[in-house]
Amino acid sequence: MEQFSGVSVVKKANVYFEGKVTSRTVFLADGSKVTLGIMLPGTYEFGTDSREIMEILSGDLSVLLPGEETWLEIKGEGTFHVPAQSKFKLEVRSVTDYCCSYPA
Amino acid sequence: MEQFSGVSVVKKANVYFEGKVTSRTVFLADGSKVTLGIMLPGTYEFGTDSREIMEILSGDLSVLLPGEETWLEIKGEGTFHVPAQSKFKLEVRSVTDYCCSYPA
For residue B104, pLDDT over 90 is answered with: no
Judged on CB neighbours under 10 Å (0-12, 13-18, 19+), B103 is exposed
Give me the pLDDT at residue A22, please. Answer: 98
Does this complex have an ipTM over 0.90?
Answer: yes
Q: If you average pLDDT over residues B57-77, what whole number do you get? A: 97
Mark yes or no for CB contact A5/B8 under 8 Å: yes
Question: Which domain covers residue A47, as residue numbers?
Answer: 21-101
Does residue B17 belong to any structural domain of this protein?
A: no
Does residue A13 belong to any structural domain of this protein?
A: no
Number of domains in chain B: 1
What is the distance, to the nearest Å, from the Cα of residue A26 to the centroid of all Cα atoms in its chain? 13
B7 touches B17 (CB < 8 A):
no
A97: closest CA among A55, A47, A45, A68? A55
Write out chain B residues lying below 8 Å of A13, CB-based. 36, 38, 57, 97
Mark yes or no for CB contact A8/B7 under 8 Å: yes
Does residue A9 belong to any structural domain of this protein?
A: no
Q: Using CA atoms, how far apart are residues A7 and B5, in angstroms rounded to an integer?
A: 6
Which band of pLDDT confidence, cut at 50, 70 and 90, is reported for residue B74? very high
Task: Give the residue from chain A lying closest to B96, CA to CA.
Answer: A19
Each residue's pLDDT tens digit, A47-104:
999 999 999 999 999 999 999 999 999 999 999 999 999 999 999 999 999 999 999 7
B99 touches B45 (CB < 8 A):
no
Does residue B18 belong to any structural domain of this protein?
A: no
Write out chain B residues lying below 8 Å of A4, CB-based. 8-9, 11
CATH of residue B57's domain is 2.60.120.10
Could you give the percent of chain B with pLDDT greater than 70?
100
Mark yes or no for CB contact B11/A19 under 8 Å: no
Q: What is the DSSP letter of B58?
A: E
Which of B38, B92, B98 is best to mutate for the A interface (most A CBs within 10 A)? B38
Which band of pLDDT confidence, cut at 50, 70 and 90, is reported for residue A1? confident
